[in-house]
A = this chain, B = another copy of it.
Amino acid sequence: MSMISFATGNTNPETFPSDAFADAASVVLRGMATALNTYPGKLGHEGLRRLMAQREETRESVAVDPDHILITNGSMQAVTLAAEAFAPNRGDIVVLEEYCYVGSIRAFNAMGLEMVGVPVDEHGMRTDVLGQVLDRLAREGRKPGFIYTLATYQNPTGAVMPLDRRRELIALAQRHDCVVVEDNCYGDVHYEGEVPRALYALDPDPRQVYLGSLSKIFAPGVRLGYLMARPPLLERILARRNDAGPNTLAAAITHAYLHDKLWQHIAMANAALKVKRDTLLDALNRHLGNACSVTRPAGGLFVWIRLPDDVDPGRLKEIAAGHGVDFAHGSDFHIRNDAGPYIRLAFGYPTVAEIETGCERLGAALREARGSASR
In chain A, residues 66-89, which have Cβ atoms closer than 8 Å to a Cβ of chain B? 73-74, 76-77, 79-80, 84, 88-89
Binds B, one of A50-58, A159-167, A248-256: A248-256
In A173-221, the 8 Å CB interface with B consists of 215, 219-221
A30 adjacent to chain B (CB < 8 Å) = yes
**Residue in contact with A25 in the complex, picked from B25, B38, B246, B349, CB distance below 8 Å:** B25
Interface membership of A260, Cβ < 8 A: no
| Chain A: interface size category | 35 or more
Provide the A296-326 mask, 1 if CB < 8 A to any CB of B, else 0: 0000000000000000000000000000000
Q: Give the Cβ gap from A280 to chain B, nearest Cβ, in Å.
A: 18
The interface residues of chain B lying within 8 Å CB-to-CB of A73 are: 73, 77, 243, 246-247
For A22, give its contact among B29, B79, B243 (CB under 8 Å).
B29
The DSSP consensus for interface residues of chain A is helix
Contacts of A77 on B, CB cut-off 8 Å? 73, 243
Verify A106–B242 contact, CB threshold 8 A: yes
Interface residues of A (CB under 8 A from B): 8-14, 16, 18-19, 21-23, 25-40, 73-74, 76-77, 79-80, 84, 88-90, 103, 106-107, 110, 112, 215, 219-223, 239-240, 242-250, 253-254, 348-349
Known: A13-B36, A18-B29, A74-B245. 8 other contacts (CB 8 A): A8-B38, A18-B30, A21-B29, A25-B253, A223-B248, A247-B247, A247-B250, A249-B254
